[in-house]
Amino acid sequence: MHAFEHYDSVQTLEEGIAEYHRTNPGLAKGRALSPQAREFFRCHDAVHVVFGCGNTLDDEAVVKISSILGTSGGFGVLRGYRLHESLDIYRKLRVSDVFRSIVHSVVLVPRTVIRCLRQTRRWPWDDFEPYARVPLKRIREEFGIRVAHFSGE
């Protein structure tokens, strides 16, 4: 696991995002993006870090649900998943990986929904710059966020 995936990570949000980008060099961020996609992935990547998710399909499912239920973006974030840059990513997925993720979703979806509903506040989807230099542990405590791989309920 990466440092930002640990619940008690002392990395700042800024450091966590840098680690996320460094360890995932093939992200859409490296390509030419439309302004809408650039903004969507900026916010999406921050959710990956704050909610402690890597880029496996299971973690992507957690990020999508957490973006809708655990951030101020709500269902509006779904517009970002319809952008051609997002659709390009979906086209590259292997059927076996998608099937495995669907099977795992029986546990992932309810657990993620419950965790989001238990948050004390919603994470600011697109206005998180004030938290750039705040340690992830403190952010998670403030918002009541449990990371994707947090085992203690």
Q: Which H or E run includes 98?
A: helix 95-117
Q: How many CA atoms lie within 13 A of 114 on its CB side?
A: 7
54-113 pLDDT, tens digit each = 888 889 999 999 999 999 999 999 999 888 777 777 777 778 888 888 888 888 999 999
**Structurally, how many domains does the chain consist of?**
1
Residue 1, both tokens: 């696991």
The residue behind tokens 């993620």 is 112
Would 116 be classed as within a structural domain? yes
Would 152 be classed as within a structural domain? no
Single-letter code of the amino acid located at 139: I
Indicate the pLDDT class of residue 28, thresholds 50, 70 and 90: low
Would 149 be classed as within a structural domain? no
Crossing angle of helices 57-69 and 35-50, in 10° steps, is 100
Of the candidates 136, 132, 131, the residue with the CA atom closest to the CA atom of residue 147 = 136
Q: What is the pTM of this model?
A: 0.88
Structural domain span for residue 67: 3-143
Would 19 be classed as within a structural domain? yes
